[in-house]
Amino acid sequence: MTPRERWLAVLEGRRPDRIPCDYWATAEVTARLMRDFGCHSKREVWEHLGVDKCVRLAALHPLAKEDDWHIDSNFAIWHVGTADIPYQNGLGVYTETVSHPLAQAATVTDVERFDWPDPEAWEVRNLRARCEKWRGYPILGGTYEPFYLYCHLRGMEQALADFILNPAVLEAALDRIYWIHESIIRRTLDEAADLIDFIYVAEDLGTQESLLMSPGSFRRFLKPRMARMIELVHSYGVRVFHHDDGAIRPLIPDLLEIGIDVLNPIQWRCRGMEREELARDFGASVVFHGAVDNQKTLPFGAPEDVRREVAENISIFKDCKGYIMAPCHNLQPNTPTANIVALYNAVQEFG
């Protein structure tokens, strides 16, 4: 089976020749694997490891300074100031926000006066040709992650305070963010829905211990807009891939209610995210994606620990709607190559 055929078999309730597996990693990890394996491209790395990579393509903005599939991460388009910040003693670099263009907004008028990007500027005409190059692989064709973007525009502390102190400002900005993304995603699907398998409707709503906001705030401000976006995506026959870090268990019933198809990343070391309980309570309703721990097991365990965890996940999720094996977020530069190889070899062995 091709990678796409494996994913579709799981999503449609059929049995693939083996479970699909995905690859998430920082640029530093991928570059190291290219050197270690003698590969000349990311695609060669995925083929070497036997990865059923979900390829991320999206409409592109001609003025974007970043080369990124993720619309929200094209920070220059949204006037968000960024800097590359090294971590792990210089092993890697993440782009972090250093200035927030809506930080001083005090009224709805301030939000309306902001220089919002024109959704028509995102180019979709070459999207079909780009997708055609990845025939045989599942394709993720765009993203909507509203509060994540709002935090970058506003600053996280102010963004969280706005739920209580400035709800009108929050509502006005979320409405504009929705309108822009709805237009981009509709144009994307008009152009290439038959070649696209997923749209990324996501958030980062959890910490290691709890939610970033109350369930009531989520249901008032975020859930209705996410529901509208999911309804739009489903109207084209395309599925929704939902990423949500951290301890989000209290919101999973809400996410299932509005129709997510895949739940990622299953960070099971976070409070309330135990794999067995998630499989028991929600396994009939959603395909799980991820769940191989990259806080301890992948960076600090031995290859045998990784192999054991893959086997555990396959067993835990075997009676669920479906499971796609992947690290529970990006593989970090402190993850040994031997552990990455063990991860994907275990899929071949147990999957």
| pLDDT tens, residue by residue, 252-283 | 999 999 999 999 999 999 999 999 999 999 99
- For helices 223-235 and 167-192, what crossing angle results, to 10°? 10
The torsion defined by the Cα of 315, 335, 75 and 191, in degrees rounded to 10, comes to -50
- Supply φ then ψ for residue 200, to 5 degrees: -90, 105
DSSP per-residue codes, 131-169 = HHTTTTS-EEEEEE-HHHHHHHHH-HHHHHHHHHH-HHH
Q: Please give the average per-residue pLDDT across 17-21, as a whole number.
A: 97
Q: What is the pLDDT of residue 89?
A: 86
Domain boundaries, the chain: 3-350
Three-state secondary structure call for residue 61: coil
Supply 217's token pair.
């705030």
Residue 86 CB burial class (10 angstroms; 0-12, 13-18, ≥19): exposed
pLDDT score of 69 more than 80 = no
Position 229 scores a pLDDT of 98
pLDDT tens digits, 21-54: 999 999 999 999 999 999 999 999 999 999 999 9
CA distance from start to end of the chain: 14
Condensed to tens digits (0 to 9), the pLDDT of residues 85-142 reads 998 888 899 999 999 999 999 999 999 999 999 999 999 999 999 999 999 999 999 9
The C-alpha atoms of residue 42 and residue 140 are separated, in whole angstroms, by 17
Overall pTM > 0.85 = yes
CB 282 within 8 A of CB 256: yes
Fold of 3-350: TIM Barrel (3.20.20)
Beta bridge partners of 94: 85
Using 50, 70 and 90 to split pLDDT, how confident is the model at 81? very high
Q: How confident is the model at residue 344 (pLDDT cuts 50, 70, 90)?
A: very high
Angle at which helices 146-154 and 167-192 cross, to 10°: 130
Residue located via tokens 């008028």: 109
